[in-house]
């Protein structure tokens, strides 16, 4: 019974993830997770580009809201429980 609940929660969360992430190639778990990682990397790249445009556009040294993402690179995304 506990295993059934665990699988249901996992499937529900994967379904929610699939509904949020555009361009899901296949509906299996591995593809959903892989496409989500790719999408997150793409979003980080877009954030960095926008931050650079903001920095170039303003010469003052005010703290920007997105400054926490400035040094993040797409390949720096941490994945829990990933094999080493």
* Contact (Cβ atoms closer than 8 angstroms) between residue 77 and residue 40: yes
Q: What is the pLDDT of residues 25-58, one digit of tens each?
A: 888 899 999 999 999 999 999 999 998 888 777 6
Q: CA-based angle 73:74:80, to the nearest 5? A: 105
- What's the pLDDT at 69? 61
pLDDT of 67 strictly over 80: no
């Amino acid at each position: 019974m506990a295993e059934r609940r665990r699988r249901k929660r996992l499937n529900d969360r994967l379904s929610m993830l699939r509904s949020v992430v555009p361009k899901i190639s296949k509906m299996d778990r591995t593809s959903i997770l892989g496409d989500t990682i790719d999408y997150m990397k793409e979003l980080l790249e877009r954030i960095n580009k926008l931050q650079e445009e903001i920095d170039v556009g303003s010469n003052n040294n005010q703290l920007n809201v997105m400054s926490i993402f400035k040094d993040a690179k797409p390949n720096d995304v941490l994945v829990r429980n990933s094999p080493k």
